[in-house]
Structure 1
Amino acid sequence: MIEPLPSAKPEEVGLSEAALNRLSAALNDRVASGHIPGAVALVARHGKVAYHQSFGRLDPASDAPMGTDAIFRIYSMTKAIVSVATMMLWEEGRLLLSDPISKFIPAFANTRVGVVSGDSYTLTAATSPITIQDLLRHTSGLTYEFRGTGPIHKAYGEARVARLKQTNADQVDELAGLPLLHQPGTVWEYSRSTDVLGRLIEVISSQTLGNFLSDRILVPLGMSDSGFSVPTADQSRIAEPFAKDPDDGIDVALLDIRRPAMFESGGGGMVATAMDYARFLGMLLGNGRLGATRLLGRKTVELMTSDHLGSITGAVDLLPPGHGFGLGFAVRTAAGMAPFPGSIGNYYWGGAAGTTFWVDPVERLYAALMIQAPVQREHYRLLFRDMVYAAVTD
């Protein structure tokens, strides 16, 4: 029997109800102005959910109100779940963080690095192999095709590495044949590294990624609405975006999650409700345990949420000042510097369609915001963070 997460009134856990009401007013105002179709926000402190509210419409094409049980495409918030799955295999001794990925996926044994010159590149040997640690912390040398316009990014696009009609094995074979953007271990570059980890999990476990995640994480934690697609019976709860972004008028097209996924992207293919993801965050804040269910040991969570970059830099648009990156999460390393509040040791990430989360071990707090508004995501990530921290009183 899966027990629901405990709840509390805001003041019982050191949060201001008046300040959280200001958050509600801000989100309601943005819905009323046509900036976002709807949202679900959740804040928990000291292990108790103190705020769980829905706003606006589930689908801008209908009048159905957003419910707190709405199902969202979480895109790159998938990465945190797949990173936890990888570390569960690490705890079982089935891999080392220093292992080269080619030990498990031989196609990566001969990976080359592209040396860009103008609109072309030449190939050179990698000076060190891509390790599993590199994949977890995004220092593999892989990239995303949308992260630039150079010849290597174009090669990714021409190879159609993001196509949905492929298996995880197909994609990884394609990626292994493409040039790396950087030498492994030298630059932080947001990338398809976690897709490779998804395939690694399949190779080690002899299960599909979806089945492994379901058996080992989703079912044990009670994340009943999470996965790589939405069953027919639950599709009336899918949150949808505007057809066109209200600011720049561009078309908005998100993943089709109404049919079973052939490609189970470890880097961005999952769906979840706010409460489902809260159960995952509660496990992390609980040092690997939620209630009677333990997925990871305390020291494993500590390792994952420590900075693994040190002097390694890169992609300043994604890693704000005063932040590094751990094994699956951005990690705050300085109390100041970044233009938003938090504590040293915070860890977080978000998804391309607008979802975001963070965990603050110092304040014993975690929060998740679910929206489906890709162009607006940066604004709401900051707004939500600012207004939740403004509610902390004790």
Structure 2
Amino acid sequence: MVARGEETHVEVLGHRAVGGAQMTRDTVFRVASMTKAVTAVATLMLVEECRLRLDDPVDELLPELANRRVLRRVDGPLDDTVPARRPITVRDLLGFTMGSGLLLVPPDSHPILQAMTVLDLNQGIPRPSVPPAPDDWLPRLGSLPLMHQPGERWLYNTGSDVLGVLVARASGRPFEQFLRERLFDPLGMADTGFAVPADRLGRFTTCYWTDPRTGGQAVFDEAAGGDWATPPAFPSGAAGLVSTADDFLAFSRMLLDGGRFDGERILSRSAVELLSSDQLTAEQKAGAGLSPDFFASHGWGFGVRVVTRQTELGHPVHQYGWNGGLGAAWAIDPVNRVIGIILTNRAFTSPVPPPVVQDFWTSAYQALAD
């Protein structure tokens, strides 16, 4: 799907499952880490209502994260720690500088990563059936030291999961209920949520991946009876949502129009500008990133990557958005007023999107006629 102004171009290709029904425009996909932008918007809505403040510590609402200890070395033993220099703030969670997150090292190669796995924190490939309910999940996270001092280093993913718990506590309602009432219903995102109802499973995809043991294609998650067929105990603000192309188009149009949708204000223009601006210092980017050269041409806003230097076709400066590792990618270009969305049912094999995604962006931009 590519949209510009009033024009929207959609191509529907392939099948929902190998040997299964053909894709349709309303097919439901696992958008995985594209969830992070939705979670950031929900958080900023509460910041605008002064229920949260960007630079306030989260200790009052998230006491499980108060009085942090920090590893002396990220690969060191869990009991070799120093006190945190300051509390974790809302800004730290939004910008992924809270001090915990994913590391670009082999899984379980460090004691801290082994502990995260044992505690079922689900900080790798999304598995909604794994983590416990929020009020159990957060104490488990809080039992572990931070990997870096708060505010010191960008670390991917975990901040968005914590934000889901924070939004629920700050709003006084479950995270999924807040999203439904404040975002999904106003935007008409009827097919977006943390699970697929039984009457819509016929429109849901089977997800495939490259099996790390065999190197061959295998089923990662079935549509019926899979991880997204029932509501999860932990609605992941990092990677839990399913959605459709048109639902995410509505979300994107709201952001592109400065927080307004069908004449109603969802978010302020100032909040959208904050979300879509690079929030990191050079020091916070050092040694971070999902690929060695990620921060050479990108920054990080709140839940989205921001292009800071154009190095390839299809990704102009100021474009912002993010990918979903289970086969999705999405971005908004506020300069050219372009929205691009590609949803597939084949998981990525690395942080760098596969050729089908790269070619989508190249083709979308070469087709623009100014």
Q: TM (normalized to structure 2)? A: 0.89
1:343 maps to 316
Aligned partners of 1:85, 1:106: CA distance in 2, in Å? 21
Q: How far off is 1:393 after superposition?
A: 2.1
Greater mean deviation of Cα atoms: 208-217 or 180-189: 180-189
- Confirm or deny: 8 A CA contact 1:245 1:375 kept in the other structure: no
C-alpha distance in 2, partners of 1:291/1:298?
15
Query: Any gaps of 5 or more consecutive residues in structure 1?
Result: 1-41
Match of 2:126 in 1: none
What does residue 125 of structure 2 align with?
Answer: none
Cα RMSD after superposing both structures: 2.1
2:327 is matched with 354
1:392 aligns with 2:368: yes
Report the Cα distance in structure 2 between the residues aligned to 1:182 and 1:165, rounded to whole angstroms. Answer: 23
Match of 1:158 in 2: 118
Does 151-160 or 272-281 show the bigger shift? 151-160
- Gap change, CA 1:118 and 1:58, over 3 Å in 2: closer
Q: Secondary structure at the match of 1:55?
A: coil
**Quick check: 1:287 aligned with 2:258?**
yes
Q: CA deviation at 1:182?
A: 1.0
Paired positions, count: 349
| 2:16–2:345 Cα contact (<8 Å) kept | no
- For the pair 1:328 / 2:303, whether they are aligned, the reply is yes
What are the equivalent positions in structure 2 for 1:219-258 lying under 5 Å apart?
219-242=185-208, 248-249=215-216, 251-254=218-221, 256-258=227-229
Q: CA–CA distance in 2 between the matches of 1:118 and 1:297? A: 42
* Structure 1 residue 165 displacement after superposition: 5.2
CA distance in 1, matches of 2:60, 2:308: 33
- Tell me which residue corresponds to 1:381: 357
CA contact (8 A) 1:287 1:296 kept: yes
Percent of residue pairs identical: 35
Q: Distance in 1 between matches of 2:235 and 2:7?
A: 30
After TM superposition, give the deviation of residue 241 of structure 1 in Å: 2.6
> What is the correspondence of 1:93-108 to structure 2 with a 5 Å cutoff?
93-108=50-65
| 1:6-42 deviation per Cα after TM superposition (whole angstroms, max 9, x unaligned) | xxxxxxxxxxxxxxxxxxxxxxxxxxxxxxxxxxxx1
Query: Deviation per CA, 1:288-341, whole angstroms, max 9, x where unpaired?
Result: 01212321011111111111102121433353522111111111122x3x3443
CA positional deviation for 1:171: 1.2
Output aligned runs, 1:1-394, within 5 Å.
42-46=1-5, 48-62=6-20, 64-116=21-73, 120-121=77-78, 122-144=80-102, 148=106, 149-162=109-122, 164=130, 166-242=132-208, 248-249=215-216, 251-254=218-221, 256-311=227-282, 312-313=284-285, 314-318=287-291, 319-334=294-309, 336=310, 338-375=311-348, 378-379=353-354, 380-394=356-370
Q: Following the alignment from structure 2 to structure 1, what is the Cα–Cα distance between the partners of residues 258 and 189?
A: 18
Rounded to whole Å, the distance in 1 between the matches of 2:231 and 2:345 is: 20
After TM superposition, the runs of 4+ consecutive aligned structure 1 residues lying more than 4 A away are: 145-148, 243-247
Q: Where does the alignment leave 5 or more consecutive residues of structure 2 unmatched?
A: 123-128
Give yes or no for contact 1:129–1:184 (8 Å, CA) kept in 2.
Answer: yes
How far has the Cα of 1:372 moved from its partner? 1.7
CA distance in 1, matches of 2:238, 2:7: 28
> Cα deviation per residue 1:95-146 (whole Å; 9 max; x = unaligned)?
1100112121111112211123766341111112111111111111111378
Instruction: Return the offset for 1:49.
Output: 4.1
1:375 Cα deviation (Å)?
A: 3.0
- Partners in 2 of 1:281 and 1:378 — Cα distance? 20
2:2 aligned partner, one-letter code: V
Give CA deviations for 1:214-243 in whole Å, capped at 9, x if unaligned. Answer: 000000000010011111111100011347
Contact map agreement 2:70 2:83 (CA 8 A) in 1: yes
Give the secondary structure class of the aligned counterpart of 2:73.
Answer: strand
Secondary structure of residue in 1 paired with 2:253? helix
Query: Following the alignment from structure 1 to structure 2, what is the Cα–Cα distance between the partners of residues 93 and 181?
Result: 30
- Distance in 2 (alpha carbons) for counterparts of 1:51 and 1:371: 17
Q: TM-score, normalised by structure 1?
A: 0.84
